[in-house]
């Protein structure tokens, strides 16, 4: 069942998501070759707890294996999503998708950004740029009167036109008291598919886009999702709320992007 939020609930959702964005900004400040994803996880967990919140991902159950052991997902290169932080140092030219979720005052935040480690190949930069553009093209479609399918249709069209793959098995979602609520928000579809978009709808939109084939596999750790062809994957995610007939960002990439510009 889709649970539409009140204005007061949307303000709480915004606070949780801004904390996620602040956490990802802390990661943007430090990410560089030589650092490990476990170090990023420790930094993120401390930052989240220092702000009175809990990392939603830590202990998240898995029907196929152990619960998620960390506070963020760190998915490097051909890992699409759900990468478990580890002690392997990041290298120049890597990309790492950092997905972060927090619970604050009973509401969840959820956002993801794919970072470059040092200088990456121009073809990889293009994958990241297209995935981020697709996210915003999807968000633009989240207006009252449209269907959820409008979002996925815009994302799929933008990415497939440029020869990229759209992962089918993983989708965006409603968000509120729970991190995953109805409805599902696929990154593909048609303008006649899915429920109608209404004021009070709060969703996470999260294109997972591959350089090659969209086919995926599961790592032996039962968490990491990888591209089967070993090519790179990108993941950008915003939580949005629909009110006054149109979409409003709850999370923000502004401070991350400022840091990226300063690093150039």
Q: Is 102 in the site for Mg ion (CB under 5 A)?
A: no
Q: Is 72 in the site for Mg ion (CB under 5 A)?
A: no
Closer of 174 and 189 to Mg ion (Cβ): 174
Interface stretch with Mg ion, choices 8-16, 17-25, 129-137, 201-209 (CB under 5 A) = 201-209
Q: Is 181 in the site for Mg ion (CB under 5 A)?
A: no
- Residues 131 and 232 sit within 8 Å (Cβ to Cβ): no
List the alpha helices (DSSP H) in the chain.
7-30, 37-50, 122-140, 148-161, 254-263
- 3-state DSSP assignment of residue 239: strand
Interface stretch with Mg ion, choices 26-34, 136-144, 147-155, 229-237 (CB under 5 A) = 229-237
Provide, rounded to whole angstroms, the least separation between the CB of residue 179 and Mg ion: 7
- Residues 204 and 235 sit within 8 Å (Cβ to Cβ): no
Peptide bond into 183 cis (omega under 30): yes
Q: Which helix (H) or strand (E) element contains residue 243? A: strand 238-243
Provide, rounded to whole angstroms, the least separation between the CB of residue 101 and Mg ion: 6
- Within the chain, how many helices (H) and strands (E) appear? 5, 15
Length of the chain in residues, anyone? 264
Which residues 6+ apart lie within 8 Å of 115 measured at CB?
A: 27, 28, 31, 95, 96, 97, 98
Interface stretch with Mg ion, choices 6-14, 110-118, 161-169, 219-227 (CB under 5 A) = 110-118
Interface stretch with Mg ion, choices 56-64, 120-128, 157-165, 196-204 (CB under 5 A) = 196-204
Q: Is 139 in the site for Mg ion (CB under 5 A)?
A: no
What pairing do the DSSP bridges indicate for beta strands 165-166 and 95-104? unpaired
Provide, rounded to whole angstroms, the least separation between the CB of residue 183 and Mg ion: 13
Q: Is 110 in the site for Mg ion (CB under 5 A)?
A: yes
Which member of 99, 153, 240, 249 binds Mg ion (CB under 5 A)?
A: 99
Closer of 189 and 207 to Mg ion (Cβ): 207
Q: Is 204 in the site for Mg ion (CB under 5 A)?
A: yes
Q: What x-and-dash track marks residues 230-259 binding Mg ion by CB under 5 A?
A: -------x----------------------
Q: Is 41 in the site for Mg ion (CB under 5 A)?
A: no
Provide, rounded to whole angstroms, the least separation between the CB of residue 139 and Mg ion: 14
Provide, rounded to whole angstroms, the least separation between the CB of residue 240 and Mg ion: 12
Which residues 6+ apart lie within 8 Å of 137 measured at CB?
A: 154, 155, 158
What are the backbone dihedrals phi and psi of residue 199, each rounded to the nearest 5 degrees, phi first?
-60, 140
Which chain residues interact with Mg ion by CB under 5 A? 99, 110, 112, 204, 237
């Amino acid at each position: 069942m889709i649970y539409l939020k009140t204005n007061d609930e949307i303000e709480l959702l915004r606070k949780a998501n801004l904390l996620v964005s602040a956490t990802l900004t802390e990661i943007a400040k430090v990410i560089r070759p030589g650092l490990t994803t476990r170090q990023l996880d420790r930094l993120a967990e401390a930052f989240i707890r220092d702000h009175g919140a809990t990392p939603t991902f830590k202990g998240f159950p898995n029907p196929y294996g152990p619960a998620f052991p960390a506070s963020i997902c760190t998915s490097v290169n051909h890992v699409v999503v759900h990468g478990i932080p580890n002690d392997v140092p990041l290298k120049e030219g890597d990309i790492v998708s950092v997905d972060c979720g927090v619970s604050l005052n009973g509401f969840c935040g959820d956002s993801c950004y794919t970072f470059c480690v040092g200088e990456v190949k121009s073809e990889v930069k293009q994958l990241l740029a297209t995935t981020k553009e697709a996210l915003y093209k999807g968000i633009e479609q989240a207006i009252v009167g449209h269907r959820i399918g409008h979002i996925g249709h815009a994302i799929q069209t933008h990415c497939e036109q440029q020869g990229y793959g759209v992962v089918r098995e993983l989708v965006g979602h409603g968000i509120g008291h729970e991190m995953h609520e109805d409805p599902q928000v696929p990154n593909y579809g048609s303008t006649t598919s899915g429920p109608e978009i209404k004021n009070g709808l709060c969703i996470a939109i999260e294109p997972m886009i591959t350089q090659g084939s969209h086919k995926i596999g599961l790592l032996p750790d039962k968490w990491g999702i990888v591209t089967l062809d070993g090519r790179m994957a990108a993941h950008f995610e915003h939580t949005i709320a629909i009110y006054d007939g149109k979409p409003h960002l709850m999370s923000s990439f502004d401070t991350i992007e400022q840091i990226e510009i300063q690093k150039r």
